[in-house]
Amino acid sequence: MKCLTYLTLFAFLGYAFAIQTYYLDQRCGSTLNFPYYSLDAVRLKLTSNINYRSNMDCLMTVNTTSSKKFMLYFKSIAIESSVSCTRDWLEVFDGPNVNSRYVSGLSYRQCGFSISSQVFKTSGNSLTLRFQSDSSFQYSGFDMVITSYHTGYCYSDEHDCDNGRCISDTLTCNGYNPCGDYSDCPLAGGVIAGIVVGCFFFCVFATLFLIICRRRRLRYHREPTHVQVVANTTPGYGTPGQGYNQPVPQQYGAVPYPQGQQPPTYQ
């Protein structure tokens, strides 16, 4: 029961601090301003559908306050692969429009089914994404996390990451690595995993113990019990009362009579 309580608590915390998800194909041509929406981090996917649409040309800009920057990383990517990404591709610009340079480490177009797991960062407070597709194959697109941060002195409502970045306290322990170095949660990575795994094995052993005890108890109740029933009669063989004990019928075999004689009849 205690294990279930811990697992439920972790699940609840994961839900309570989960960041909001946006879809690029639903916000084409729009600007997402972090301060106005009270956002500190978002999860951005290309589409909420199984596959993205054909012949897309979608542009979106993300802004934060002038004193902050963005860091981002990809959870997954699945964009039609081609030489130099000439069919379907994603571009990530370090600025407010497509005339800005690419984000460092994400030069040129991005496509294919694998991408670096490192954390990328902007040089300013704006980030622009552009996705284009042709009429051929379509896949799931991409899934990325974008977090607003600043360096220097961290305020009372901020978390001081080990790498010198300051993020909102609301982002700590949300499972999305908002610091970029996994220093956002005291119970980080291995500790949480150890607790969950240990609790799981405890529940398994407890369940097996209860099953074994139950089977033994059922087997004990199913074992036959031998009870010898003895009748109490008078010497008259037919009237109950006080007298000697006579065995229950069929407990012993019938007593044979001499040949030619019949057993006595009582009236």
* DSSP summary character for residue 91: E
What is the per-residue pLDDT across 36-63, written as a single tens digit (0 to 9) for each?
Answer: 667 899 999 999 999 999 999 999 999 9
Give domain limits for the chain: 19-184
In the chain, DSSP assigns E strands to 20-23, 30-33, 41-45, 57-63, 69-78, 89-93, 120-121, 126-132, 141-151, 158-160, 165-168, 230-233, 240-247
Q: What is the mean pLDDT of residues 193-215?
A: 65
Query: What count of other Cβ atoms lies within 10 Å of the Cβ of residue 58?
Result: 22
pLDDT for the residue 116? 87
Q: In the chain, what are the helix, strand and coil shares in percent, each to the nearest 5?
A: 20, 30, 50
Of 236 and 104, the one with more pLDDT: 104
> pLDDT tens for residues 205-242?
677 767 777 766 666 555 555 555 555 555 555 555 55
pLDDT in tens, 136-159: 999 999 999 999 999 999 999 999
The pLDDT mean for the chain works out to 80
CATH homologous superfamily for the domain 19-184:
Spermadhesin, CUB domain (2.60.120.290)
CB 51 within 8 A of CB 140: yes
Q: What per-residue confidence (pLDDT) applies to 14? A: 44
CA distance 252 to 245: 14
